[in-house]
């Protein structure tokens, strides 16, 4: 009996065993990277190939958005904010939802920090429509 108590006490006093390091979720990471590249490619094709400029193409939305420009990164932020609900209501789609949200944010960041600097010499991140 004392031997059992001693081993129980020793187990309580010993440092906790370390949890195994979680494996990286390579499929999710690849999905987020692939979607980021897809979104940015589509954005550049519309901008360069189609001659579209978002502030002109979406100017009709100014009344609806109270003059605020809606960047696709904002939609990604909203998707990530809604992730806990999606994980609860549609767990089979949660990974795709979060990867898409992150990809929209990354694509918008790459577009403004990288692509527009190269194309225009400025980030072109306008918060409102010019009146």
Residue 73 belongs to some domain of the structure: yes
The neighbour count for residue 8, using CB atoms within 10 Å, is: 10
Average pLDDT in the 36-52 region?
Answer: 89
Average pLDDT in the 85-112 region?
Answer: 93
Separation of CA 131 from chain center: 31
The confidence score (pLDDT) of residue 59 equals: 75
Global confidence as pTM: 0.73
Each residue of 69-94: b (16+ CB within 10 Å) or e?
Answer: bebbbeebbebbeebeebeeeeeeeb
Residue 112 belongs to some domain of the structure: yes
pLDDT digits (tens, 9 = 90+) for 4-18: 555 555 555 555 555
Domain extent for 38: 23-120
Residue 14 belongs to some domain of the structure: no
Is the dihedral angle over the CA atoms 20, 21, 26, 32 positive or is it negative? positive
Residue 93 belongs to some domain of the structure: yes
Residue 109 belongs to some domain of the structure: yes
**Structural domain count of the chain:** 1
The confidence score (pLDDT) of residue 2 equals: 52
**Interacting residues of 38 by C-beta distance below 8 A, sequence separation 6+:** 103
Q: What is the mean pLDDT of the chain?
A: 80
């Amino acid at each position: 009996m004392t031997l059992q108590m001693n081993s129980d006490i020793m187990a309580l006093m010993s440092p906790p065993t370390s949890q195994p390091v979680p494996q990286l979720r390579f499929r999710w990471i690849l999905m987020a990277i692939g979607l980021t590249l897809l979104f940015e490619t589509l954005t550049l094709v519309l901008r360069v190939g189609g001659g579209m400029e978002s502030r002109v193409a979406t100017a009709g939305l100014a009344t609806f958005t109270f003059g605020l420009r809606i960047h696709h990164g904002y939609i990604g932020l909203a998707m990530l904010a809604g992730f806990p609900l999606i994980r609860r209501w549609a767990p089979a789609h949660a990974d795709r939802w979060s990867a898409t949200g992150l990809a929209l944010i990354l694509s918008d960041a790459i577009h403004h920090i990288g692509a527009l600097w190269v194309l225009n010499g400025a980030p072109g991140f306008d918060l409102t429509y010019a009146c």
